[in-house]
């Protein structure tokens, strides 16, 4: 793997924001799953507030992630994790997430850290960092966070389920409850199976609802 530097982004990285948005939206299309879309202006705001992490190989964009603060710093979320296709499967997402996690714990030491994801890679990385899977009721109830899901293709499922569940899995790291090593719960095969069951159940329910209308 070429040398990649992971740094806290600032105004000098605005020039990468369009490419970041494009790679996020192209990857969502390829995966065929929902994703909260972001605009370059949103990415700029994150960079200005020093709440964005960028990975660069020389001056090439390699990866990105940003921090969102919710409920007056009761929670922070690490969102928008993206690795450019040319840099995938080399451990970069894991490094970006670890960097973001450690930086965020320093910047917001009292905040619970959470994320919602359909991605097994992200579940694996989060699990290694000590996150636990939780129901949506344990995440922030800040409507602005959930409004971010409006651009996701699965938003009608989230609203039909009254924001209690969706295709994403909620994951939470509580800094006051550190996991012991033996408590690790991640099992790729089981999670993949659970994800498929959930997807089938929720989407067939959705079809039924549409059919009844």
Site membership for ligand COA, residue 20 (CB under 6 A) = no
Which residue has the CB atom at the shortest distance from ligand COA?
93
- The answer to whether the beta carbons of residues 154 and 166 sit under 8 Å apart is yes
For ligand COA, the closer of residues 11 and 39 by Cβ is 39
- Joined together, the tokens standing for residue 134 give 């939780």
Site membership for ligand COA, residue 60 (CB under 6 A) = no
Element (H, E) at 100: helix 92-107
Site membership for ligand COA, residue 169 (CB under 6 A) = no
- Residue 92 Cβ vs ligand COA, minimum distance, rounded to whole Å: 4
Going from the C-alpha of 205 to that of each of 88, 118, 153, 161, 167, the distances in angstroms are 35, 18, 16, 10, 12
Site membership for ligand COA, residue 119 (CB under 6 A) = yes
Site membership for ligand COA, residue 195 (CB under 6 A) = no
Sign of CA pseudo-dihedral 170, 171, 175, 179: positive
- For 70, other C-beta atoms within 10 Å of its C-beta total 19
- Residue 85 Cβ vs ligand COA, minimum distance, rounded to whole Å: 8
Site membership for ligand COA, residue 107 (CB under 6 A) = no
Tell me which of 117, 126, 140, 169 binds ligand COA, using CB under 6 A.
Answer: 117
Site membership for ligand COA, residue 154 (CB under 6 A) = no
For ligand COA, the closer of residues 21 and 81 by Cβ is 81
What is the separation, in whole angstroms, between the first and last Cα of the chain? 53
- The answer to whether the beta carbons of residues 47 and 80 sit under 8 Å apart is no
Site membership for ligand COA, residue 88 (CB under 6 A) = yes
Minimal CA–CA distance to 192: which of 161, 165, 169? 169
Binding site for ligand COA (CB under 6 A): 27, 31, 81-83, 88-94, 117, 119-122, 124-125
């Amino acid at each position: 793997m070429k040398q990649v530097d992971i740094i806290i982004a600032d105004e000098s990285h605005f020039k990468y924001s369009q490419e970041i948005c494009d790679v996020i939206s192209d990857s969502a299309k390829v995966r065929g799953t929902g994703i909260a879309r972001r605009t370059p202006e949103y990415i700029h705001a994150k960079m200005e507030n020093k709440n964005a992490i960028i990975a660069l190989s020389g001056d090439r964009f390699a990866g990105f992630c940003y921090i969102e603060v919710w409920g007056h710093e009761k929670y922070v979320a690490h969102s928008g994790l993206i690795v450019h296709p040319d840099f995938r499967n080399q451990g970069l997402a894991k490094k970006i997430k670890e960097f973001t996690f450690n930086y965020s714990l320093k910047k917001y030491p009292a905040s619970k850290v959470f994320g919602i994801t359909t991605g097994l890679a992200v579940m694996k990385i989060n699990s290694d960092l000590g996150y636990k899977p939780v129901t949506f009721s344990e995440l922030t109830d800040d409507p602005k966070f959930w409004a971010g899901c409006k651009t996701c293709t699965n938003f009608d499922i989230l609203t039909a389920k009254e924001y209690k569940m969706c295709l994403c899995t909620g994951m939470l790291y509580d800094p006051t409850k550190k996991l012991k090593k033996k408590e690790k719960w991640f099992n790729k095969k089981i999670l993949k199976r659970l994800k498929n069951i959930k997807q089938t159940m929720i989407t067939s329910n959705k079809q039924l609802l549409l059919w009844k209308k």
